[in-house]
Chains A and B, each alone.
Chain A
């Protein structure tokens, strides 16, 4: 089969690889009908996340048709079923899964000793990601083996297109969880840093959850335009002071809720000197992330507010303003998305016409175009916001 394979830093290739096979009774094989490139794939592309190996298959936003099931699936899936594959693999049986904390599943990370050594405890296995999370082959391929497939799936109806459903795999529930973590009140202003795909979903989620005002912060006109279409007030941080504008829009009090949909690779600019220092330290492996947004959120957030962080962070960071966070009584909520905690509800909302996530797709290409599209997406060329690939 064809698959997008990681060969090293900035080196993705569309290779021919052996087909996946059933390895466990709870496995299923799907024929991939659509997959997407995620912002967090770019962290792997840039080799910022440790423990990738040349030959690893990329991709964790995938959907398709079941073509083979293991003997332990017990009728929960059958050949021909149309499913979206959540990026978090979960068993449904461990203590964390029973609490709905699927991204903290204690069972599915097949390299949990690594995760325990690095993070203190294991977390769920993830598709197409580092070997710290199991090193499972990803779904930017013609076929995908889905481990724990009896639980790790979202069955979807025929009446909706792939484009409407695909993002149940990651970015829609991720943006949704980010907004839900904010405990949004009807009087709240929600400020969202980063208007990439997750930021766009967080904007729509905050609007649906009833925020009084949503403010979107980015520097790319195409992303700010899309954010404005979703009901947000756009703020271009290269053209105006974020702190000044946020205070202006909230009568000097600051937003009650702040969402960091940027993560480890925040924009580097001379207007924000800390980002240059972070970039230099990141290059010399003295710091893992560029946490400019966390610093800015902690500074501008209204006392008693919530900082929600769906953006991916990798490791150890410098100059996190704990004094601001402590003295202002801020709450931080973060984590990989517990995808299936939200997807039944979100599927209903898609069917009900409350949201159509396909709005975010700007490029639809063949799988073979994947390596070039990684570059286009990374370099933000051709007004690219979200790439869907068709195997």
Chain B
């Protein structure tokens, strides 16, 4: 523990380094930020489902489905981790699919003899609202981060050899063994103007 504390206390910016006066627009778009927020929401909901499935099923009048709720919790945590990662789109689409499963499960609680039917209706309304956000975030981030549909450029005229490929083959053969241990010292003296004697 002291090892970690020691490390973290040493990570700080040096006194003379430039300081921020004003900040500009972020590379993170509004959709990315929404996706991250949904990721944290997913993570929190997943933890609640894993830790307290009994309270959730009781509130919904769906006792006996605790194992299912725990499984949904694991799914939510997985989706949350993906939403917080650079594979955000995958996580958001995972959430959209999960929303569909949640809605289907909640609909089974809408039976007329369920005394907690009102709670189920409220939960359905919340899930449908979050689903709309999930779909919006998933579509927008997918559009923003996908490669263009246009045919990629091939850059076949960019050889990088002003004298042409054939004339360049082997032009630097004199350096081919420059890393060999025996020649290292000679190499550094020969090729660098920055060595101190």
Could you list which residues of chain A lie within 8 angstroms of chain B, going by C-beta atoms? 1, 3, 5, 7, 9-21, 23, 45-46, 51, 53, 55-57, 90, 92-93, 97-100, 102, 110-111, 113-114, 117-118, 131, 135, 137, 141, 151, 177, 180-181, 183-186, 200, 204-205, 207-210, 220-222, 225-226, 228-231, 279, 283-284, 333, 340-342, 344-345, 349, 353-357, 359-360, 362, 368, 371-372, 374-375, 378-383, 385
Contact = CB atoms under 8 A, between A and B. Distances in A.
16 contacts: A17-B18, A18-B18, A97-B195, A100-B184, A117-B6, A118-B7, A186-B173, A210-B173, A225-B155, A229-B160, A231-B165, A231-B168, A340-B194, A356-B161, A375-B145, A382-B148
Interface in B167-197: 168-173, 175-180, 184-185, 187-188, 191-196
Nearest to B146: A379
A200 B160 contact: yes
A151 B194 contact: yes
B169 A231 contact: yes
A20 B18 contact: yes
B171 to A, nearest CB: 5
B192 A207 contact: no
Contacts of A342: 191
Given A97-B196, A226-B158, A111 B169 contact: no
B172 A209 contact: yes
Contact of B159 (A18, A56, A57, A359): A359
A118 to B, nearest CB: 8
Given A97-B195, A131-B11, A15 B27 contact: no
B24 to A, nearest CB: 4
B113 interface: no
A210 B161 contact: no
A135 B19 contact: no
A228 B18 CA distance: 43
A57 B187 contact: no
The 10 closest A-B pairs by CB, nearest first: A100-B188, A225-B154, A210-B170, A359-B160, A371-B27, A208-B172, A17-B18, A226-B155, A14-B24, A353-B162
A111 B193 CA distance: 27
Contacts of A55: 13, 19-20
Contacts of A279: 87
B134 interface: no
A180 to B, nearest CB: 5
Contacts of A283: 81-82, 85
A3 B173 CA distance: 41
A225 B153 contact: yes
Interface-central residue, B14, B86, B188, B194, by most chain A CB under 10 Å: B194
Given A207-B168, A345-B191, A180 B20 contact: no
A131 B24 CA distance: 23
B18 A355 contact: no
B152 A222 contact: yes
A105 B118 CA distance: 69
Nearest to A24: B16
Contact of A183 (B10, B152, B180, B196): B180
A98 B187 CA distance: 12
B26 interface: yes
B158 A229 contact: yes
A268 to B, nearest CB: 8
